[in-house]
Chain A
């Protein structure tokens, strides 16, 4: 126990140590976090009126980001599956980076739900009267909470074992890894069901949403992880093999192809049948009754995703530099597609046919940036700690000061 507390203390110390780039990055993130916190404090005082949401469009950027990040968290399994099911052990350590990212993403998800509440102080009510199994939101609480604990356990155990120079005992983590694989798929499925289950919202009330969620998550998630691994191997001095990145690239390519295919299926069904079902889709892609707010967004998303897919498929763009570009395009493209493109249009027109558009406010955007910055801050600290531990520079038995022992692993 004392060793463990000492480990935590050293981790804490370590997170304040780095070179000027690390300090600059952390300082920048901290400033954004504080700006977000300030915006949220205003929201607490004046209410959700400081956002762009209305009775007509009652969910906006917060739920959009939540949905996107659930997918990012679920995508950690795309690193786990090759290791534990296909036994590609060269990826073993990378799994930890994926799962640490999942932890950061889930924390962001929970924060996005929290800031969306009108009465966050009553969040405890969920523990007194839990409308389970009827409300899908309660399923989501269980799924996200469970996933957070699973990943914390797996990463925490593996990193701590490395710290103590012990070989991790498979008994203590492999079963959890397999549970986490199923659980990851379930968190995103349950989140999709949250929307799909509403019969009054035809735009969401379609079975294709859950598969599309998974496909887009398994494209955007690994794409984000590829980008972080590129940063880690460049600035944190941790060896990530090109093979690992190529494997992830294959995963991203397949997932993105499936995602685009499902999009085509959905568009065909909606537009060919041309029923009353179509209103929201028409608003999103073409504009409706003179309202076009989301049209530029969705076509930007489709353009970004298409370019990314072309880059992934063309033979002369196999270098990792092109891969980075494709990943950035996908991370942004899928954010728009899933955020603005999935959450918002279901409210336009309203169930009574009223056309009210949604325009996020600056305050709302600041809260979102604050949460993202907080998530990145967390993830940076996780990586900052786990890299020296995994490379054996920070162990139980070294008696050097943390500065000296770990300076080799300078984080970003």
Chain B
């Protein structure tokens, strides 16, 4: 290899010619390189530029916004929704109330696994329909086990319940010690005073660390731009809950806070045909959930991971199995990979 050095020294008198040639070669190379770079980046022409405005880039974190900031952000979002879905939404930033801590209780003896909660949730919370994002996953469990690995996710029968199984719906447990909040590098997700773990969809960078951290597989990621038909959009929205999301951010169950913080029940509860779902304020000793936690055989899923869920499962020995005998058709489950 050393010989090349001698060669180029010996051609010293031809250096001028050489540099002219190398200049030509260099400019040709630069032009070719620029063209290749432009070609490589050409898919970016399809990028939705409305998603990448200076205003959005400079938008503050939820907790740092003044009421005025929030108003202008809400206005902007209303405009975006109107433009896209031709509906002026009832969009609010609805805050947690003092003296309220929400808790969910689910009666495993009653649930028949019909998945009506799954779909009521999708409609209420403006999840993408294509690909469909579902917050609730119902497991069909063999009797005698609470090991989720024994459960079936994609069960499909003419009618449910199947007498040899029981059904266990799983959604965000709004843990008091939430691993998803702990791992988020940028505080895009946090726990509110009423116990609901929320996400600022305008702050999330989409690293999916929270999704890896959740022991209940409760979080969902928008792998592509969510699609909802205009007529299916629910116009009753809150900033931290069911306003339309964008590609590349995380979402999950938030106990329908646009409803529950306004005194209503969650959509999954209202639709349940067998009354398996109970929801309320645990700080109120007279509430139904307080009574259930006090009097029934209650347990939480995966207690060993120490997340302190606010979502309880219970059995009720006063309620004999299969009292509810009328079978119902089952609705489809979510994606299975």
Contacts and interface: CB of A to CB of B under 8 A. Distances in A.
Nearest to A129: B187
A239 interface: no
A137 interface: yes
Max chain A Cβ within 10 angstroms of own Cβ: one of B149, B204, B224: B149
How big is the B interface, by class? 35 or more
B225 interface: yes
A199 to B, nearest CB: 5
Given A47-B225, A119-B206, A198 B179 contact: yes
Interface in A153-197: 194, 197
B40 A34 contact: yes
A129 B186 contact: yes
Given A404-B8, A410-B4, A58 B211 contact: yes
A200 B214 contact: yes
A121 interface: yes
A123 to B, nearest CB: 6
Interface in A27-53: 30, 34-35, 37-38, 41-42, 44-49, 53
A273 interface: no
Contact of B5 (A47, A48, A357, A407): A407
A128 B151 CA distance: 43
A389 to B, nearest CB: 16
Nearest to B206: A118
A135 B184 contact: yes
A130 interface: yes
Contact of B185 (A55, A138, A404): A138
Interface stretch (B44-52, B114-122, B158-166): B44-52
A410 B1 contact: yes
A402 B139 CA distance: 70
A352 B205 contact: no
Q: How large is the interface on A (under 10, 10 to 19, 20 to 34, 35 or more residues)?
A: 35 or more
A201 interface: yes
A346 B1 CA distance: 50
A352 B148 contact: yes
B90 to A, nearest CB: 27
Contacts of A45: 43-44, 46-47
B223 A351 contact: no
B186 A58 contact: no
Given A58-B211, A118-B248, A199-B305, A276 B149 contact: yes
Contacts of B153: 352-354
B213 A134 contact: no
A199 B306 contact: yes
B15 interface: yes
A82 B205 CA distance: 41
B220 A34 contact: no
Contact of B41 (A37, A122, A201): A37
A352 B139 CA distance: 8
A47 B205 contact: no
Given A54-B337, A122-B205, A41 B185 contact: no
A136 interface: yes
A353 B182 contact: no
Given A55-B211, A131-B187, A41 B43 contact: yes
Given A38-B40, A198-B179, A119 B249 contact: yes
B41 A38 contact: yes
- The winner among B5, B52, B184 for most chain A CB atoms within 10 A is B5
Given A47-B224, A352-B216, A235 B1 contact: yes
Contacts of B41: 37-38, 41
A94 to B, nearest CB: 20
Contact of A135 (B183, B208, B225): B183
Interface in B1-34: 1-2, 4-5, 7-9, 12, 15, 18-19, 22, 26, 33
Given A54-B337, A131-B184, A404-B9, 10 more contacts: A37-B40, A42-B43, A56-B336, A58-B211, A135-B182, A138-B185, A353-B149, A353-B150, A404-B12, A407-B8
Q: Closest 5 CB pairs between A and B? A: A118-B206, A200-B215, A118-B248, A356-B337, A353-B149
